[in-house]
Chains A and B, each alone.
Chain A
Amino acid sequence: MKTKLTEMVGIKYPIVLSGMSWISVPKMVAAVSNAGGLGILATGPLNSEQTRKAVREIRSLTDKPFGANASLMFPGAAENAKVLLQEQVPVINFALGKGDWIVKEAHKYGGKVFATVVNVRHARRAEDFGTDAVIATGQEAAAHGEDVTSLVLIPHLAENLTIPVIGAGGFADGRGLAAALALGASGVAMGTRLMTTKESPLHENYKRFTMEKDVYDTLFSKRFDGILCRVMKTDAAKRAMKKGLSWPAAFFNSRDIAAQVGIPYWKLFIGVLMSGYANARQLAYMANAFKAIKVATEDGDSKTGVLPVGQVQGLIHDQPSVQELFERILEEAKQAQGKVNEALA
């Protein structure tokens, strides 16, 4: 399928793997890129050295285009982004911050930069400083969407931007892909769908939950990680929302993060304190969420683990390989589009 997105990055299918911590790891990224989509490495849980290693591992597994993300709100993200630039990663996807410097550097080696956005204001700003495409996150998406849903956000962005729009949130099959194309998108990003595939490292427990749960079984609140975040509705998630922010837990969890991203703890601690109360509170929230997501994805822990998922989990009932999934999606999209054609003829 040829769209502005597939042409720009040289991929077969206009389907992007969302950068999900502990899921979008090198093997998964390579599986998606090898199958004809665009894999995006999640660098959130990695330090610079690990990021460099991960990029090289992807290159050893695929010769196809791939990407990597940088959630600029997290400590260590800017350093990771610098590594991605040094390694000349084909696509860099930044979120939760201003990525103008990434655009400038990436364009020097012919790299492309995608901005993850939730409204037209952010999208226009990103386009103004040279971003190559936006990933439009609708309310139904896993993790950090805002109020506006994909059905409204995609056409609104498409009519206000000249760069390609990639829809994220609500997409799991060919019906969704055909709908996204009709709304003016050049492709879709899939997180929840791709995390339940044979190649995905998500723990089997949560793959099973995703297949069993319905479209209603998510929670969308600021009480998990401090900003609006959609997660699977489980007893553990309900407990986490009820409790809200726990500072003592954040103290311990942030030590783990410092160790993981390779920053001395005192440096992280002082840095966070100096950043002001609102930011410190936000990072404390994120530190706890980080831990809850890690134990869910890696250990399948349903007692304390929490997993970001989209409403689209209710449309997911199996665990195909990425290749099977992509072929099926394209076939379904063709059928769905054929029906539209017939109706409108």
Chain B
Amino acid sequence: MKTAITEMFGVKHPIICGAMMWLCKPPLCAAISNAGGIGNLTAANYETEDDFRAAIRETRRLTDKPFFVGITLLPSLRITAEHHKMYVRVCMEEKVAGIEFSGTPLDKVAGMEAVEGLKKAGVRMFHKVGAVRHALHAEKIGYDGIYAAGIEEGGHPLNDDVTTMVLTPRIAESVKIPVVAVGGIADGRGVAAALALGAEGVMMASRFIATKECEVHENIKLELVRRQEMDTVIYGKSIGLQGRGLKSKVIEEVLAIEARQGGFEELIPLLAGQRVKEAWETGDVHYAPLMVGQSIGLINDIPTCAELIERISVQAKEISARAAKLCGN
């Protein structure tokens, strides 16, 4: 395939893995990059500079292809503003291929010198946004690309609630830098649709959980195969940070607390990141909110990353050939 994204990174396919806490570690990241996509190494998995740098080097040992580092610029209990600055500095020093930022724009967190430093080091900066205004800001301060994330994505979609089908063309027509579609994509049909909407690539996350290389309990993978597109739900609206996760007992509990206007203190123990880590490891889907998107309805098997990416590419091409006939191309 050939798009602005494949050209920018010199990769075979414009298929990028989205950041996922506890899951985007060197083996999965390298498997995706080796398969011709772009893997993700999620920074918040690592609390010390040494561990973070070691993970980058471990990934490099496993692949000589480009990969992204995922950095969420939001305050959390475990990861502080100091961590954010450290991550950015290490990425600069290690000259990683790109960074997927989400949350607050980088200039507001670490100043324009961070933006300029990354530029100088040749690190491509992308920001995940859910609205045109945020995309315009990122473009203005010098980001290299935009992840346009629709409400169907797992994780924390913006509370403007716009779907990928509408958001992708709306952002693509508003900025000049490349746009990558996020949310609701798990196969070649989604890739072809995203490109038609004006995207230069796609980001997938949930789809990569159900692959052989993802280091997560087998139960979780099987659960994603079993569950359908209506099996995710939005929670956390009452505390101002909505999330989309797999319907489960713990999310029912969270929603019940929110319904009776229980506060932050009551919710925190259920939402804590450590709990999610345990759930991924033990395979208990009801123990913690597992942040997956509606695209789980399109996941039907557990392939290797190479099989998956190859299949997506072939499927997208077949669909495009068929659509070309319909459109008179």
Contacts and interface: CB of A to CB of B under 8 A. Distances in A.
Interface of A: 1-3, 119-120, 138-140, 146-153, 155-156, 169-171, 173, 175-176, 178-184, 214-216, 220, 310-312, 314-315, 330, 333-334, 336-345
A175 B2 contact: no
Contacts of A183: 189-190, 192-193
B230 interface: yes
A152 B323 contact: no
Question: What are the nearest 10 A-B pairs in CB distance?
Answer: A170-B165, A182-B192, A151-B184, A178-B196, A179-B193, A149-B163, A337-B327, A140-B163, A182-B193, A179-B196
B166 A182 contact: no
A152 B1 contact: no
Contact of B320 (A138, A155, A169, A340): A340
B197 interface: yes
Nearest to A178: B196
Interface stretch (B42-50, B82-90, B112-120, B290-298): B290-298
Interface string B186-230: 010110111111100000000000000000000000000000111
Contacts of B185: 151
B323 A182 contact: yes
For chain B, give the interface size range: 35 or more
B285 interface: no
B173 to A, nearest CB: 8
A173 B196 CA distance: 11
B15 interface: no
B195 A339 contact: yes
Contacts, number: 171
B230 A344 contact: no
B160 interface: yes
Interface SS of chain A: helix
B178 to A, nearest CB: 12
Contacts of B192: 179, 182-183, 340, 344
A156 B327 contact: no
Given A181-B326, A182-B196, A216-B131, A343 B1 contact: yes
A149 B132 CA distance: 20
A344 B165 contact: no
Contact of B323 (A153, A216, A337): A337
Interface string B20-43: 000000000000000000000000
Given A175-B197, A178-B196, A339-B195, A314 B229 contact: no
